[in-house]
Amino acid sequence: MKRRDFFKKFSSIALLGSIPVVLKANNYKPEYNWKMVTTWPKNFPGLGTGAEYLAELIQKLSGGRIKVTVYGAGELVPAFEIFDAVSSGVAELGHGSAYYWKGKNDIFQFFSTVPFGMTANEMNAWLYKGGGLKLWEQAYFDFNLVPMAAGNTGVQMGGWFNKEINSLSDLKGLKMRIPGLGGEVLRRAGGTPVNLPGGELFTALKTGTIDATEWVNPYNDLAFGLHKAAKYYYYPGWHEPGTTLECFINKNKFAELPEDLKEIVKGAAKIANLDMLCEYISRNNDALQILQNKHKVEIRPYPKEVLEELYNISKTVVKELSLKNNFAKEVYNSYTSFQEKTKNWNDISIKAYLDI
């Protein structure tokens, strides 16, 4: 009996550690049939495929007890309506990023990305070990949702433009697709932020509906063909230094799961979170070389003075969020204090190494 208990415990560890297991999902009849709605085009590289990977992982690690069917943006509900769809129970899971729901609560944006904020590794550390995830769960509680980190794009690019950006004045009057807090910073700099789902970006930029756009980074931007609609590609992505992608689950549906399946879903989200970041790191440079060498895209850095001015505006915008209420102040203090703590270490570790 003791040996049987040992192997039972070992099997559970193997599942969450993504060690190959002998369970075959198609030998089991699903006990839970779930729908996942996403903000991404179906099977779009990195983002859409990340949602598919999470769905497959949940099914495999649960031994087929949970089956998840994924719907791309617009297939079941429009891209920006998935939050309400999962909250109300139309679907059990959603896959997106928290800054899309700032209309529900501005504080959600801290759980996605903050201009000049934390990188992917820092975000993961804050969420898993710095209290960020508990605050996120508290923020979504009244919306009947349980949030989990389920991916990260890493540092993004600064955007696609059809004119040079030499000073802050070049941003004035500019209609740019840029979501979240980055959009508010652009507004304060004199531009006009526009929030569009990814599937509409190429046409909007090509037809002049918008003057500029940011999307993700070379891997995704090449897939959308944005180089065919704009000439200049700027870096770095000051507005999204480490964007967390989320999986949120209808709270009532999650509560129905037995404890082992709850842990499997949470473990699958952690695995998917790491997997997506690894995919972007591995694919970005190859895509960058294609854009630069084959398509002759002009890749340019933002001028230092532009970044400095955007940084100062960002500090004001983010600070203002903390003044909304006590919970906003709590999230702001947690985020900024953790970032400062990691910065002190990064200065003599990662930064010092990269500067060699």
First-last CA distance in the chain: 57
Flag whether pLDDT at 318 surpasses 60: yes
Classify domain 159-240+285-323 by CATH number. Answer: 3.40.190.10
Q: What is the pLDDT of residue 30?
A: 82
162-214, pLDDT tens digit by residue? 999 999 999 999 999 999 999 999 999 999 999 999 999 999 999 999 999 99
Torsion angle of C-alpha atoms 276, 282, 286, 287, degrees rounded to 10 = 10
Q: Across all residues in the chain, what is the average pLDDT? A: 93
Flag whether pLDDT at 4 surpasses 50: no
Tokens of 129: 């070990």
83-135, pLDDT tens digit by residue? 999 999 999 999 999 999 999 999 999 999 999 999 999 999 999 999 999 99
Q: What is the pLDDT of residue 181?
A: 97
User: Residue 18 — very low, low, confident or very high, per pLDDT cuts 50/70/90?
Assistant: very low
User: Model-level pTM?
Assistant: 0.90
Tell me which DSSP letter residue 64 carries.
Answer: T
265-275, pLDDT tens digit by residue? 999 999 999 99
Flag whether pLDDT at 31 surpasses 60: yes
How far apart (Å, rounded) are the C-alpha atoms in residues 326 and 172?
A: 34
Mean pLDDT of 218-238: 97
Q: What is the pLDDT of residue 353?
A: 96
Asked whether this chain's domains 2-15+22-152+242-281 and 159-240+285-323 adopt the same fold, the reply is yes
How do the domains of the chain map onto residue ranges?
2-15+22-152+242-281, 159-240+285-323
Q: Residue 234 forms beta bridges with which residues?
A: 159, 300
Q: What percent of the chain has pLDDT over 70?
A: 92
35-82, pLDDT tens digit by residue? 999 999 999 999 999 999 999 999 999 999 999 999 999 999 999 999
How far apart (Å, rounded) are the C-alpha atoms in residues 181 and 168?
A: 17
- Nearest 5°: phi and psi at 189? -85, 0
Mean pLDDT of 228-256: 98
95, 111, 100: which is closest to 52 by C-alpha? 95
Query: Is residue 182 within 8 Å of residue 115, measured between CB atoms?
Result: yes
What is the per-residue burial (b if ≥16 Cβ within 10 Å, else e) of 260-272?
Answer: ebeebbbbbbbbb
Could you give the angle at which helices 120-129 and 326-347 cross, rounded to 10 degrees? 120
Q: What is the pLDDT of residue 315?
A: 97
Report which residue type is found at 90.
Answer: V
**1.10.730.10, 3.40.190.170, 3.40.50.720, 3.40.50.1000: CATH of 2-15+22-152+242-281:** 3.40.190.170
78, 92, 91: which is closest to 41 by C-alpha? 78
Query: Is residue 119 within 8 Å of residue 241, measured between CB atoms?
Result: yes
Flag whether pLDDT at 260 surpasses 50: yes
Report which residue type is found at 46.
Answer: G
Q: What is the pLDDT of residue 27?
A: 55
Mean pLDDT of 137-148: 98
User: Residue 29 — very low, low, confident or very high, per pLDDT cuts 50/70/90?
Assistant: confident
Q: What percent of the chain has pLDDT over 90?
A: 92
